[in-house]
């Protein structure tokens, strides 16, 4: 992470419950190597709102995550979010995640990657000409000169070419190091790759959820692109948060003396070395549990059972 200030190093203090470095526990995001279990800031506020006390707890949680070895944070200027009581998937943004990341972690360690995203606005999908201002807002909030990874989060676009072309221009100017896509189909990926390299695709995925993305996950693996899964724990509940309940998942959690969240993460990571997870939480204990999921190895029989879990629609 390139700082406006001089870089300093945060000490890493891995707990005994979190796996030590192994090659299969890391993958590339562009020119950076990150742990495959990162931290998503979407749920950073939990259900407590966004007051000063909540933000201070979030600062402490982010620092704890770095102490535990996390070097990949997923963010957005409209994060954290919470379910707004509307249709499933609708949410309200609290708009302070990037600010809290800066307060907690700047000056940033050299190996830290903060991936952010642009596209959504209060009025819907941003126009291409609105994207530069959104990128500049992320730069200011994070306090950096260059953003590590910027995803184009598309919504309702048949073609992402015009939007992605604008981000490619900002990358050429040095404002962005690497580009990604989120909430996309395979056709969107192909469109973007005609313009600039794509280092990551971030789509919904998990046990019994988002399996429509199996094909693009495989495509990413074949091309060496990171596939970053979201809603891995909450599944169809999406913005409501929590961990989706499933009998097969619970049974395996009991067998491994693990939590259902850990089993869901272990299955997701089993889908390929290029698959990353970004579970979010506001709870320090859940943070440690999620990171420890990298040590769980499911048997071929257990993987087959979870592969066959049917998708639930809410």
Enzyme catalytic residues:
79
Q: Are 274 and 228 in contact (CB under 8 A)?
A: no
Mapped onto helix, strand or coil, the DSSP state of residue 118 is: strand
Task: Report the residue count for the chain.
Answer: 314
Q: Are 287 and 57 in contact (CB under 8 A)?
A: no
Q: In the block, which residue shows the tokens 């049974």?
A: 251
Beta-strand runs (E) in 133-188: 147-153, 176-182
| DSSP assignment letter at 144 | B
DSSP 12-49: P---TTSPPP-GGGEEEETTEEEESB-EEGGGTTTTS-
CA 67 to chain centroid: 19
- Three-state secondary-structure class, residue 178: strand
At residue 151, what are phi and psi to the nearest 5 degrees?
A: -90, 140
Distances (CA, A) of 62 to 98, 287, 291: 11, 10, 13
- For 55, 63, 78, 108, 258, the CA distances from 103, given in Å and listed in that order, are 10, 10, 17, 10, 33
> What single-letter DSSP state applies at residue 209?
B
């Amino acid at each position: 992470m390139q700082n406006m200030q001089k870089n300093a190093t945060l000490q890493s203090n891995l707990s005994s419950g979190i796996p030590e470095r192994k090659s299969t526990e890391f993958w590339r995001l562009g020119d950076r190597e990150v742990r495959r279990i990162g931290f998503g800031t979407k749920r950073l506020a939990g259900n407590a709102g966004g007051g000063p006390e909540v933000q201070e707890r979030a600062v402490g949680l982010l620092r704890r995550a770095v102490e535990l070895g996390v070097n990949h944070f997923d963010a957005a200027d409209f994060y954290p979010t919470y379910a707004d009581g509307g249709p499933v998937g609708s949410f309200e943004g609290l708009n302070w995640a990037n600010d809290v990341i800066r307060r907690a972690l700047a000056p940033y360690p050299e190996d830290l990657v903060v991936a952010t995203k642009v596209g959504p606005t209060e009025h819907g999908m941003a126009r291409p000409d609105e994207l530069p201002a959104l990128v500049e807002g992320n730069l200011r909030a994070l306090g950096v000169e260059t953003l590590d990874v910027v995803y184009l989060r598309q919504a309702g676009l048949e073609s992402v070419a015009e939007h992605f072309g604008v981000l490619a221009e900002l990358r050429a100017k040095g404002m962005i190091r690497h580009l990604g896509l989120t909430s996309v189909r395979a056709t969107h990926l192909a469109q973007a790759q005609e313009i600039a390299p794509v280092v990551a695709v971030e789509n919904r995925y998990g046990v019994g959820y988002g399996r429509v993305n199996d094909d693009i996950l495989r495509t990413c693996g074949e091309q060496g692109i990171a596939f970053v899964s979201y809603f891995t724990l909450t599944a169809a509940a999406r913005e409501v948060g929590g961990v989706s309940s499933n009998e097969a998942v619970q049974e395996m959690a009991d067998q491994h003396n693990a939590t259902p969240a850990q089993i869901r993460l272990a299955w997701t990571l089993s889908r390929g070395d290029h698959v990353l997870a970004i579970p979010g939480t506001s709870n320090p204990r859940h943070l440690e549990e999620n990171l420890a999921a990298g040590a769980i190895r499911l048997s071929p029989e257990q993987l087959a059972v979870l592969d066959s879990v049917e998708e639930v629609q809410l």
